[in-house]
Each structure stands twice: as structure tokens, then as C-alpha cells.
Amino acid sequence: MHVTFPYMQWSAVYQKHGTWYLGWVEELPGVNTQGKTLKEVKENLKEALSLVLDVSRTMMERDRPRGKVIRDRITV
């Protein structure tokens, strides 16, 4: 299941390393990728971020105690 998060913004960092580009999201350890072009690494990073958020939500829904929950947005 792909979940979109239309209001979230993240800090993407890109760095050229030899002939490759590296990319990662500062706020979320483990969200990183590489690509042969900057365009490719940007696309890969969006996909990696989306997958990490999907897996996180799936695991949370699976592991949380059953019963009513309250969902709300938080801004920092």
C-alpha cells in the first residue's frame, strides 16, 4: 500500500562521490540512495523516503495495541 504524505517536507542532501551521486534525508536515518545522475538520485530518494514511511506506518498499525486511536497532525 502506497501512502502519500502531501504536507511533509524533508531536507534532502546530495553529494557527488566519484562518478556517483549520493542522496539522503537528514531527518530520517536510513533514507539514503545513490544514482549515476543528480536527476536519478533525486527520483531514487523520493522512492526510498516513500517506502520507509509506508513500512513504518504498516509496522506501527500491526504492532500497536488494538482499540480506538486518535490521529492528529503535529507541526514543529
Q: Rounded mean pLDDT of 61-76?
A: 80
Answer yes or no: is 48 within a domain. Answer: yes
CB proximity list for 3: less than 8 A, separation 6 or greater: 53, 54, 57
Q: Which residues are registered as beta bridge partners of 37?
A: none
Answer yes or no: is 29 within a domain. Answer: yes
Question: Chain-wide mean pLDDT for the chain?
Answer: 87
Q: Rounded mean pLDDT of 22-33?
A: 95
pTM: 0.76
Answer yes or no: is 41 within a domain. Answer: yes
Percentage of residues of the chain with pLDDT beyond 70 = 89
Answer yes or no: is 74 within a domain. Answer: no
CB proximity list for 22: less than 8 A, separation 6 or greater: 14, 15, 16, 32, 33, 34, 41
Distance of CA 45 to the CA centre of its chain: 7
Q: Rounded mean pLDDT of 52-69?
A: 85
Q: Please determine, for residue 4, whether its predicted confidence score (pLDDT) is greater than 60.
A: no
The pLDDT score that the predictor gives to residue 7 is 66
